[in-house]
C-alpha cells in the first residue's frame, strides 16, 4: 500500500485506528501480540486495529518515518495522535487505544528537566564520592538509585516491569494473600 492509498483508507475509516507495523521475524512484535489482541477485542467497534507487515510496506514506512518495529501509531480523523516504538507493556498499549479514542495523546506527567538534571548530578556525585572514598557500596548504590530516579520513566525496561511489580506488591500487601 502506498502512502496516498493509506491516507485515503485512514480518512474513510469510521473509527479511530491503531496501526501496528510488525514483521514475522520480530520477537518484540510477537511479544506484544497477546496484549494487543486483548485490547483489540476490548475496543471492538470503537477502535480499528490494522496490522501492516513492515517487510511488505517499505515505501509507507519511509513516508511515515518509521525506523524500527514494532511501531504502533494511533490515528483519529486521519491525524496521528500518538506513536509508540518498541515492545510496550499493557499499560502503554492501553494509553495508545485511549489516545485513539479520545483524539489526543495523554499528558505526560514526567519530571521537569531541571529536576532531572539535579537528580542525575547528585547521583553521579555520590557515585564518584563512593569510588574516591574507597569501595563504599552503600553510598554507590544510593547514588545509582538517585541517578536512575532522573530517567526511570523513560526506561523501556522499567516501563515494562513496573506494572508487574505493582501487581506483585498489591498481592503481597492485600489481606489474606500469600
What stretches of 86-155 show up as alpha helix (H) in DSSP?
A: 90-102, 113-132, 137-148
Give the list of residues 6+ apart from residue 47 with CB closer than 8 angstroms, or none: 15, 16, 17, 18, 40, 97, 100, 101
> Which of the following is catalytic: 17, 26, 52, 93?
26
* Residue 122 Cα to chain centre, angstroms: 27
Burial of 114 (0-12, 13-18, 19+ CB in 10 A): exposed
Contact 21, 69 (CB under 8 A): yes
Which residue, among 15, 51, 56, 13, has the nearest Cα to 32 in the 3D structure? 51
Residue 29: active-site member: yes
Contact 35, 90 (CB under 8 A): yes
Residue 26: active-site member: yes
> Which of the following is catalytic: 10, 17, 18, 29?
29
Catalytic residues: 26, 29
Amino acid at each position: 500500500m502506498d502512502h496516498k492509498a493509506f491516507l485515503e483508507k485512514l480518512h474513510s475509516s469510521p473509527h479511530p485506528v491503531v496501526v501496528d507495523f510488525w514483521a514475522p521475524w520480530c520477537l518484540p512484535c510477537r511479544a506484544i501480540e497477546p496484549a494487543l489482541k486483548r485490547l483489540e477485542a476490548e475496543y471492538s467497534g470503537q477502535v480499528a486495529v490494522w496490522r501492516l507487515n513492515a517487510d511488505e510496506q517499505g515505501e509507507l514506512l519511509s513516508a511515515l518515518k518509521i525506523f524500527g518495529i514494532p511501531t504502533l501509531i494511533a490515528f483519529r480523523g486521519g491525524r496521528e495522535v500518538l506513536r509508540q516504538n518498541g515492545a510496550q507493556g499493557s499499560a502503554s498499549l492501553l494509553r495508545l487505544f485511549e489516545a485513539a479514542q479520545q483524539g489526543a495523546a495523554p499528558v505526560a506527567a514526567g519530571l521537569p528537566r531541571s529536576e532531572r538534571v539535579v537528580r542525575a548530578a547528585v547521583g553521579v556525585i555520590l557515585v564518584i564520592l563512593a569510588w574516591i572514598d574507597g569501595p563504599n557500596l552503600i553510598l554507590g548504590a544510593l547514588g545509582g538509585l538517585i541517578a536512575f530516579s532522573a530517567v526511570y520513566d523513560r526506561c523501556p525496561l522499567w516501563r515494562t516491569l513496573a506494572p508487574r511489580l505493582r501487581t506483585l506488591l498489591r498481592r503481597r500487601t492485600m489481606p489474606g494473600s500469600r
